[in-house]
Chain A
Amino acid sequence: MYKYDDYDQQIVDERVLQFKDQTRRFLAGELPEDEFLPLRLQNGLYVQRFAPMLRIAIPYGMLSSQQMRKLASIARRFDKGYVHFTTRQNLQLNWPRLEEVPKILEELATVQMHAIQTSGNCIRNTTTDQFAGVAYDEIVDPRPWCEIIRQWSTFHPEFAYLPRKFKIAVCGSEQDRAATQVHDIGIHAFLNQNGDVRFKILAGGGLGRTPMVGSVIKPSLEPEHLLSYLDAVLRVYNRYGRRDNKYKARIKILVKALTTEVFSEKVEKEWSHLKDTQARLPQQEIDRVQSFFTEPDYEALTNIDFTDLALSAEPDFQLWLRRNVHPHKKPGYSAVTLTLKATADAPGDASAEQLEAISDLADRFSFGELRVSHEQNLIFSDVPQRQLHELWLRLKPLKLATPNHGLLTDMICCPGGDFCALANARSIPLAEMIQRRFDDIDFLHDIGELDLNISGCMNACAHHHVGHIGILGVDRKGEEYYQVQVGGASGHDASLGKILGPSFKMDEVPDVIDKILNTYVELRTPEERFVDTCRRVGVQPFKEKVYAKAA
């Protein structure tokens, strides 16, 4: 993975000093709250319902075991001993003290980490495929490009006060596991006919109040022009994006208002002035960054027959093999998902003890590296298949071997009204209610692949529009209600879900989901996943079942 050089380290160290001074001035009353606000946000610091919340960047979801141990120690020393992984591959501390945040940043800087631009109206953490570099269907490793974008976007002087936040995602494989179509900019890396890397650029996707799928504004871009092209897109957005209404300020509204054609023409015109300046990326720098993402010392192994592996072990292990173990580009290796979705724990939460145990296991089984997925899970990317059973045995007592990856109970869930000041409704208790109701693992495996996403408000942190089943918390005269939609998806075939009808009280939701699942079981063909059936039959049969009057 990427390692800082002296330039990177100095920039992060200087940021710590800058924020320390800003915090001091705020606490001394020299900096008013409304002027400190954007400064602290650009350092990931929110003031929430009960305490500040600090969002720490995990660039494109990659972590070393050493960094993970530091996070565990920070969680213990400055928080209540646990952390929360977010849907943007970042990490949140829910209980830090504002006075101590500069100290936390100082600690993070010692392991090449920071909280830069994890919030605010600026370019946020770039995200990618959690299987980047090891995916069986990968065409181009997206990580070097994510790192190049990370550096370019860090303290970009022109784009620190955009109309609204700005999110970029990169993918380089056939299956889009980075939800690039619902980002402000989505980048698809591919190889052209000569085998050279090119980028397809999408713009104007997004969730929130007005969900939209992005459209292609540049079918093929040379890598040396990546930064100048991004500069051009951002400049058009910075100048012409709406600033009069926060809910119409994202780039998707601008692209839609101008049309994709006009927007891309404007970008093209801007880019023609920028492309042959200093902004052109030197090949030496591309080579340098790529050199950090080479293969680890893989052994020469052959693939093991999983049926044999499963037969010799416990039934639980079979389920885990089927759900949580993923194909790998190297023979004899697999990637493994540790779902942070055990019933009764808030989705995405992990304790300091778990983080330390995970770090030890990463050192032992997966070259000391970890990934965070936007599904709020952790990944060991390079596990030798012959060690899978041993790893599973060690994960089980840590409550990290729940065999539910990609199933109903592996839900994506925002912190909701328990923590977040924006939320209309709580999401964690609902997640737990659903996990308790659907605790029969055989039933879950029979239902199969199903993304359930729960957002506590229309800001859509849990991406409910692209959940196969999406749940949105709404406020009805001061009471928590939940709107249910079906048929969304976030992959290459991204689609937005359709709302079933009037919203429900929290304790009605598990029954509603049960009815939705029964409808699927009745209507599915043998090959169909839940979302396929939704697409074929539409929303009507689900609606009829859910809102049917009791006979």
Chain B
Amino acid sequence: MPKLLKDQQISNDDFQILKRDRAEPILPEGNVLLHVSSINQAIKANGLHNGQVGIWFDSGDEPETVANTLNQFEIIAVNFPGFMDGRGYSLARLLRERFDYRGDIRAVGDILVDQLYYLKRCGFSSFRLREDQHPDYALAALTTFTSDYQTAADKTLPVYRLRHQF
């Protein structure tokens, strides 16, 4: 099972990520993530299913169209098809800052140690690590920098405000 980094802890990620355009009407047992194109099915199943139900976005998906429904879910995942595809960073900031999503935002896909710090700053709260990633390095990566030059979804004060103690 993939390793999950969440709340400074390493555990197993037991969510099943269901393929987009999945035809079966019945969800598999346990915690599941449905692609955003099946959001209606996810809304219906939410609460009735014998596990948690969340949705996932691929890097090029647009959250704008489903913005009102997001807070019904306790978890939303954003997929990184490759770690060089940086669209997921903007997507997470939109979820957190524009659409005020308060649940868990999980980074899934090609999630590597060296991008974790940026992912965290963009609003991701849990990370499904690629299998070969070292959990200790991953934990350490979250505290690479003590302060930051920009405002982002993590709401830390940027240096240009810290300097003047706003």
Q: Give chain A interface residues in 277-294, CB to chain B under 8 Å.
A: 277-279, 281-282, 284-285, 288
B160 touches which one: A30, A243, A277, A281 (CB < 8 A)?
A281
Cβ of A162 < 8 Å from any Cβ of B? Answer: yes
Q: Give chain B interface residues in 79-98, CB to chain A under 8 Å.
A: 83-87, 89-91, 93, 97-98
Q: Considering the chains assembled together, what is the distance between the CA atoms of A11 and B162 in angstroms?
A: 14
B89 touches which one: A10, A163, A238 (CB < 8 A)?
A238
Q: Report chain A residues within 8 Å CB of B90.
A: 158, 235, 238-239
Q: Are A282 and B161 in contact (CB under 8 A)?
A: yes
A-B contact count (CB 8 A): 109
Q: Report chain B residues within 8 Å CB of A318.
A: none
A153 to chain B, nearest CB (A): 8
| B interface majority secondary structure | loop
Residue of B93, B157, B163 with most partner-chain A CB within 10 A: B163
B70 to chain A, nearest CB (A): 16
B92 to chain A, nearest CB (A): 9
Considering only CB atoms, which chain A residue lies closest to B120 in the complex? Answer: A157
A519 to chain B, nearest CB (A): 48
Q: Are A38 and B152 in contact (CB under 8 A)?
A: no
Q: Report chain B residues within 8 Å CB of A278.
A: 151, 155, 157-158, 161
Q: Are A35 and B114 in contact (CB under 8 A)?
A: yes
Q: Are A238 and B163 in contact (CB under 8 A)?
A: no
A285 to chain B, nearest CB (A): 4
Q: Are A10 and B157 in contact (CB under 8 A)?
A: no
Q: Considering the chains assembled together, what is the distance between the CA atoms of A282 and B163 in angstroms?
A: 10
Q: Report chain B residues within 8 Å CB of A151.
A: 149, 159-160
Cβ of B148 < 8 Å from any Cβ of A? Answer: yes
Cβ of A7 < 8 Å from any Cβ of B? Answer: yes
Residue of A10, A238, A277, A278 with most partner-chain B CB within 10 A: A278
Considering only CB atoms, which chain A residue lies closest to B114 in the complex? Answer: A39
Q: Are A35 and B86 in contact (CB under 8 A)?
A: no
Cβ of B121 < 8 Å from any Cβ of A? Answer: yes
Q: Considering the chains assembled together, what is the distance between the CA atoms of A112 and B158 in angstroms?
A: 20
Q: Report chain B residues within 8 Å CB of A155.
A: 118, 145, 148-150
**In the complex, given contacts A22-B114, A158-B89, A160-B118, what are 9 additional A-B residue pairs having Cβ atoms less than 8 angstroms apart?**
A151-B159, A156-B150, A158-B86, A161-B84, A238-B86, A243-B87, A278-B155, A278-B157, A278-B161
**Which A residues fall within an 8 A CB radius of B?**
5, 7-8, 10-11, 14-15, 18, 22, 25, 30-31, 35, 38-39, 121, 148, 151-152, 154-163, 227, 235, 238-239, 243, 273, 277-279, 281-282, 284-285, 288
5 interchain residue pairs of minimum CB distance: A161-B86, A157-B121, A278-B151, A157-B118, A285-B160
